[in-house]
Structure 1
Amino acid sequence: MTRDITVQGTVAEGFEPVREEFAAVVAGERDDYEGQLCAYVHGRRVVDLWAGAGAAGDSLYAVYSATKGAAHLVAALLVQDGTLEVDRKVTYYWPEFAAEGKGALTLRDLLAHRAGLVGTDTGFSLAELADDRVIAERLADQRPFWRPGTAFGYHALVIGALTGEIVRRATGRTLQEVYEERIRAPHGLDLHLGLPAAHEPRFRTVRPMLPTPAQQARLDARPSGPDTLESIAYNLHGADPTDLQSLPNERLIRASGPASVGGVGSARGLAGMYAAMISEVDGRAPLLKEDTLAEFARIHSVGYDLVAREHKAFGLGFQATADTWHPFLGAGALGHSGVNGVQSFADPRSGLAYGYTRRRFAYPGGAAPENDRLAAAVHRAARATP
């Protein structure tokens, strides 16, 4: 049974249809819905909405794999600086990575989910998943699950640690430290890779959700088993299998901010980061130059994902958002979703930066279905705005 849930916040002139679409989405949700929607166009915030009992514009939610967008913005900045070179072998930065036949892999292929290192044979403990350096150390010794560079599969829980270890070797700083110093703090973003204790009162714990009968039937129809690539990638095969729904509710995860899944933020934080990436915001130049942005947005892996077992498309660290999620977006749109329904992206051609969060876990995973409606409404309004 649903009830009226008041939509709060503001929209700029011309974006009133976005508020109406958000209200329609909320009206069709369960009465425990909480969510936020934020968007910028050419560096100006034009949508800032939220709904749900207890929700506020500055409430903080787990963003799961949308964290990867922040992690790979760090990588893009370091490539832009010349600190990293995407066509160097990973071993140039990280010699130990050469074990088990991985020595020829380039940073470009690693960022495009082509390393074949989706997990380890025996799995990770919770403490290990919270520590990117430990994940990287274990993966350096791991035999890849396919010949590196020949195919791709989503490195769901580990790509941030792999990228982070290269960042640490090249800079002497953790990826989280570089993100804080160069991206989050200067732009005042409410998107944290390591949530300070002072912000804990604003965090809204993830609410578990059981799939509907139709969703369960879809899940049951997927080939599954304890030792499939999907199980290994999501750490379901070891002695301490991961419960994704409860993972961010662990303070250990929120405090350390592992770069694959540990981010905590608001829709304002997500949209603000992508706005800062592509646009001038508050007098600050865009973080990425056009050539860097184009290189990281360019599709590097497309087709059958060995882990997801369905069509996917990746740039360098980022999802190719138009090909994977929203085909109405412009070529070169890039971003990253989260398994709980979160969505975030930039569409450089329209100048749009988008962030959506929700508290309750979503099935079947990835950007929740309502993002199709919300992102389309924002995109239409953005294209119509002078």
Structure 2
Amino acid sequence: MSDHHSGGITVHGTVAAGYEAVRDEFAAVLAEEPNEPGSQLTVYRNGRRVVDLWAGEGVDADSLPAVFSSTKGAAHLVVALLVQDGILDLDRTVASYWPEFAAEGKGALTLRELLGHRSGVIGVEGGFLLDELADDRVIAARLAGQAPFWEPGKEFGYHAFVIGALTGEVVRRVTGRSIQELFEERVRAPYGLDLYLGQPAELEPRYLPVRSMNPTPEQKAEFAARPFDPKGLQAVAFNVPTDTVAWINTPSVRALGPASVGGVGSARALAGMYAATLGEFAGRPPLLTAETRTEFARLSMAGIDRVTDEVDHFGLGFERPRMLYPSLGEGAFGHCGAAGSQAFADPSNGIAYGYTRRRFAFPGGAAPENVRLVAAVVEAANSSPSGD
């Protein structure tokens, strides 16, 4: 390990030869942050770790930040494995696995459409109680009878707090196991990843508590100027007015590990999980075939997200990060998280990327510095004569 000092920031960790510019960019974005958040960044290229950096108060390589919706990538990796194994069929209806889901006109929705955030059941009227929001079984039971907010299958919109519970109930009905149990058995434990959908109590000292967003006056003004309907779809999907920071910092929530937003893990683990989808990792064969990767990365539905207004947002369960980072290949797949985390695999160049931060980034979702960091990573990888 070596420390690097730049702009008053001390960056810990290592980079491979040719990736020094990534370390410099990591230091630069932290130095520019008005309230330095503490971050981790890890990148694998063709299975070899080429970037492994961290900085900030109380942050080390083994810290376990909350990764919020980057959890969805872990959950839907399990679904991809079950499809790959022939246990789940993307074109069967959800109700054929889970009959209660057919209520209120949802009977024709397929698993493929559900994974594309097309069900229309983004939440419940009146919202979930905080204890309910942490329990996937409770979420699924309530959503089974919920009327959709648009015609199922015809549009898409981010199922922020509930998609993992919905897909997880399908998994449970077919296998008798939860997504969390299958992730532990098939992914986390065998590949030695510090990424947990259900944080063990003994790891509590390694948890890195999330800090609230601390926007600048300019950001506050920008946020105040944005239209927001307290009864609109965004409010339903994000269960407004949930205090997400206080909620995820509650040990009982992390112990349950809700499959949409409840995971904790390091950047090393996020990047390692995606590296394991691309090729041999930790002495084990790749998790996914090229065919499965292509299927789950392919655009589910073109158009504008009814909840977030993002364009062409989803593959199957995974986000399509090329929409944010155009230097990535069309087949890249991954997921960001509310405090600023970002993780993905790009089969076109063998990159597996993991980024975490402890303070919420404005305005939420993938932290804006990821644009610069991803660009630096891709440039370094493209300049590597050996292909790592």
TM-score (norm 2): 0.95
Match of 2:77 in 1: 73
In 2, distance between residues paired with 1:47 and 1:351? 14
Match of 2:99 in 1: 95
Match of 1:186 in 2: 190
Match of 2:243 in 1: 243
Code of the aligned partner of 2:357:
R
In 2, distance between residues paired with 1:13 and 1:210? 36
Match of 2:308 in 1: 308
How does 1:1-386 map onto structure 2 within 5 Å? 4-30=8-34, 32-236=36-240, 241-323=241-323, 325-385=324-384, 386=386
SS in 2 for 1:61: strand
SS in 2 for 1:49: strand
SS in 1 for 2:378: helix
In 1, distance between residues paired with 2:303 and 2:364? 19
In 2, distance between residues paired with 1:83 and 1:354? 29
Do 1:211 and 1:363's aligned partners in 2 also have CA atoms closer than 8 Å? yes
Q: Which of 242-251 and 66-75 deviates more?
A: 242-251
In 2, distance between residues paired with 1:86 and 1:23? 43
SS in 1 for 2:243: coil
Q: Which of 358-367 and 141-150 deviates more?
A: 358-367
Do 1:38 and 1:267's aligned partners in 2 also have CA atoms closer than 8 Å? yes
How many residues align? The count is: 380
What is the CA deviation profile of residues 37-67 of structure 1, one whole-angstrom value per residue up to 9, with x for unaligned ones?
Answer: 0000011111100001211001110100000
SS in 2 for 1:271: helix
What is the CA deviation profile of residues 145-176 of structure 1, one whole-angstrom value per residue up to 9, with x for unaligned ones?
Answer: 00000000000000000010001001000000
In 1, distance between residues paired with 2:171 and 2:251? 25
For structure 1, the 5+ residue unaligned runs are: none
Do 2:266 and 2:356's aligned partners in 1 also have CA atoms closer than 8 Å? yes
Do 1:215 and 1:363's aligned partners in 2 also have CA atoms closer than 8 Å? yes
In 2, distance between residues paired with 1:32 and 1:227? 34
Do 1:3 and 1:31's aligned partners in 2 also have CA atoms closer than 8 Å? no
Do 2:7 and 2:27's aligned partners in 1 also have CA atoms closer than 8 Å? no
In 1, distance between residues paired with 2:86 and 2:13? 41
SS in 2 for 1:245: helix
CA apart distance, 1:312: 4.4
Q: Between the two proteins, what is the percent identity of the paired residues?
A: 63
CA apart distance, 1:15: 1.1
Code of the aligned partner of 2:32:
G
SS in 1 for 2:54: strand
What is the CA deviation profile of residues 155-211 of structure 1, one whole-angstrom value per residue up to 9, with x for unaligned ones?
Answer: 000000001000100100000000000000000101100000111101111111233
Code of the aligned partner of 1:70:
A
In 2, distance between residues paired with 1:212 and 1:245? 19
SS in 2 for 1:82: coil
CA apart distance, 1:30: 3.5
CA apart distance, 1:309: 2.6
Do 2:41 and 2:355's aligned partners in 1 also have CA atoms closer than 8 Å? yes
For structure 2, the 5+ residue unaligned runs are: 1-5
SS in 2 for 1:319: coil
Do 2:121 and 2:159's aligned partners in 1 also have CA atoms closer than 8 Å? yes
Do 2:254 and 2:262's aligned partners in 1 also have CA atoms closer than 8 Å? yes
CA apart distance, 1:20: 1.2
Do 2:42 and 2:53's aligned partners in 1 also have CA atoms closer than 8 Å? yes
CA apart distance, 1:32: 4.0
Q: Which of 138-147 and 25-34 deviates more?
A: 25-34
Q: Which of 194-203 and 15-24 deviates more?
A: 15-24
CA apart distance, 1:29: 2.1
Code of the aligned partner of 1:315:
G
Do 1:5 and 1:31's aligned partners in 2 also have CA atoms closer than 8 Å? no
CA apart distance, 1:3: 7.1
- Over 3 Å counting, the alpha-carbon distance change for 1:223 and 1:310 in structure 2 is farther
In 2, distance between residues paired with 1:22 and 1:90? 43
SS in 2 for 1:120: coil
Code of the aligned partner of 2:56:
G
In 2, distance between residues paired with 1:381 and 1:41? 11
SS in 1 for 2:303: strand
What is the CA deviation profile of residues 310-331 of structure 1, one whole-angstrom value per residue up to 9, with x for unaligned ones?
Answer: 42410000001102x1111111
CA apart distance, 1:24: 1.3
In 2, distance between residues paired with 1:78 and 1:31? 42
Q: Which of 277-286 and 312-321 deviates more?
A: 277-286
CA apart distance, 1:214: 2.9
